[in-house]
Amino acid sequence: MKKIKKSLLSVIFILLSFYGIAQRKSPFPFRGGKEHMMEFLKDSLVVSPQIIQERATGTVVFKFTSDQLGNVTKMVVYYADDAALVQPVIDIMKKTNRKWVLPDDVKVNDFLITFSFNFNPPATVTRDIQKSVYNYVSKRTPIIFNNQAILDLTTLLPTIVINYDIPPVVSKP
């Protein structure tokens, strides 16, 4: 009985070690790797004038599907702090066509990616800036996903942090 237990434990450890090796050798699913993806998405995303004017900040959680050719075939917004933040994410994800890499035995893969939008605060914070940020937060319209989400075969990608500059607010006399 002891020999069976030892043999079974040995087989389990061997299988776990192969699983660990397979996990380490899995390539990053974007052509050029993680750093290239982060740089491409940060540099190519265009922050809209509406976002800058409203001093919009927040998070967008986005799920998309890529096919074997690396094309984005389906997009779903799971959560967004404000609807204004969603359009730039959709636009940049369309520009990633033919950049996603799937293993040979996979026909499609789902990815979950988070974008975090923030503005670079000016050197001096005025009452007008505080007021505009408060107005944005009190009036923003979040998008919330209320349905069941099955995420068993979804790849979680790193968060993309987008920082943008805001023009100074000129006080009116």
Give CA–CA dist 105/70, Å, rounded: 14
Give the pLDDT confidence score for residue 15 in this predicted structure: 60
pLDDT tens, residue by residue, 125-171: 889 889 989 999 999 989 887 766 666 678 889 999 999 998 876 65
Give CA–CA dist 124/157, Å, rounded: 35
pLDDT tens, residue by residue, 28-71: 999 999 999 999 999 999 999 999 999 999 999 999 999 999 99
Give the pLDDT confidence score for residue 12 in this predicted structure: 62
Residue 28 has φ and ψ, to the nearest 5°, of: -70, 140
Give the pLDDT confidence score for residue 125 in this predicted structure: 86
pLDDT tens, residue by residue, 93-131: 999 999 999 988 889 999 999 999 999 988 888 898 899
Question: Is the torsion defined by CA of 86, 92, 95, 97 positive or negative?
Answer: negative
Q: What pTM, to 2 d.p., does this model score?
A: 0.77
Give CA–CA dist 121/37, Å, rounded: 26
The region, left, alpha or beta by phi > 0 then psi within -120 to 50, assigned to residue 142 is beta
| Torsion angle (degrees, nearest 10) of CA 142, 146, 150, 153 | -10
102 exposure class (CB count in 10 Å sphere: 0-12, 13-18, 19+): middle
Residue 170 has φ and ψ, to the nearest 5°, of: -95, 120
Give the pLDDT confidence score for residue 23 in this predicted structure: 46
* Beta strands at 143-144 and 72-80: parallel, antiparallel or unpaired: antiparallel
Range from 4-18, 51-65, 76-90, 132-146 carrying the lowest mean pLDDT? 4-18
